[in-house]
Structures are given as C-alpha cells and as structure tokens.
Amino acid sequence: MTSADWPGRWVRERVGYEPRDLSLFRAALTHRSASGPNNERLEFLGDAVLNLAIAQRLYEAFPQASEGDLSRLRARLVSREPLAEVARALGLGESLQLGSGELSSGGFRRQSILADALEALCGAIFLDGGLAAAQPVIARLFAGRIAALPEVGELKDAKTRLQEYLQSRSLTLPRYAILSAQGEQHAQTFEVSCEVPELGRRVQGRGSSRRRAEQEAAERMLAEIETDPRADRPA
C-alpha cells in the first residue's frame, strides 16, 4: 500500500467507514514512538466515545439489567484485553506507524498499543463524522462480543451468587475456613472449606489466594446445592 493510499483504503476496507479528513486517521494509526502527530490525544477522546457507544448498546440490549450489571458488562468489552482482540481482528497492528524501537520489539502486537490505537480510531471517526457515524461502526465491531455476553445473573462472583441463593431460600449463610496455606509467602496455595450447615454440605476449594480458594469452594457448593431439593424450598 502506497503512502497515498494510507490509511484511507485500510479504514474503508477493514473498518467499513469512508474517511473525509485523512489526517485524523493518520494520527490515530501513529504511535507516539514515531515522528509526526500521534494518537495520544485521539486515544483520550476515543475512550469516551467508545464507552458511550457501548453503554448505549448495552442499555438497549439488556433492558432488565441494573446499573451495576451494565457496568460489569461494559467492563468485559472496553478493558484492554478485549479492545486489543478487536484491534487484532481488524489487522490494526499491521497498519500502525511505530518508531524503530517499538517496531523491532514487536510493538504492533503489544496489547496496550493495540487497545490504545483502537480507541484513537474511534476518536478519529467521531471527529470526522460525529457520534452518528461512530456509533454504528462501534456497534458493528463489537456485535459478536455483545451477543456472546453472559446472562446478567452470571456476572456476580460465586460467593455473591451463593449468598444470594441461600438468602432467597431463608437458608443459613455459608461458613468459610482456611484448612491450610502451603508454600513461600509470595507463592502460597490456600485450601479452604465452605460449609452450609443447614444442608449438611461441606466442600473444599484451592487457589493462589484465600479469595480465589473461597471462590472455587463457593462454585462447588453452588453446583452441589442446585441439585439438592432441600435448597429449593420457598422463602
């Protein structure tokens, strides 16, 4: 691709947007390690545009979700890892302009650089065509990920879900206890128990922290009591 073609052709073919001001998109696809205008300011703007567009789409797609649920769903889409994955799917890394140092160290594959560039791209589309142009592009880029989001009830961690499950059935809350902590302080493995006395149930969990071990134990407890008819009695 010649310099005259960059980045208009890429934006049209891969993003599905017809750019008007190519200077915006040149900056969006230029890392600060390269010479010339870079994407730092566009990244700042694009972060806000992306969050707004995703928030609106989630608001429409999950009409029964609470504010907290919507925030948790949005976090699954606009954090660094999923943004970088969307950028990779676009082949954005191969179109980035990087300084020689970043280029030689594989910066076009780095998660943070890809995520930042995607945000900058959203900022460029917003400045070029307004929110009305940016929203459908973002909705299209994230459509598959939004469709694959879990049910709202699955967003809460296992300990919270177990507590709510038991409370809704007027059952006693679980009891957690550390059974062992092995290994050096910086690399310990914890084993904990989770007990629901009223059901006569007790399971164990392991993890690299007490919290992770408790979460695993809670997940196992949920799996057991969901098949226990005593746990299904009405409140």
**Residues catalogued as catalytic:** 47, 119
User: CA-based Rg of the chain, rounded to a whole angstrom?
Assistant: 24
Degrees to nearest 5, angle at CA 63 with 57 and 64: 135
DSSP for residue 203: E
Bridge partners, residue 104, by sequence: none
Count other Cβ atoms within 10 Å, centred on residue 142: 21
What does the alpha-carbon distance between residue 120 and residue 143 come to, in Å, rounded to a whole number? 19
DSSP for residue 222: H
How many Cα atoms are found within 13 Å in the side-chain-facing hemisphere of 232? 5
How many Cα atoms are found within 13 Å in the side-chain-facing hemisphere of 83? 24
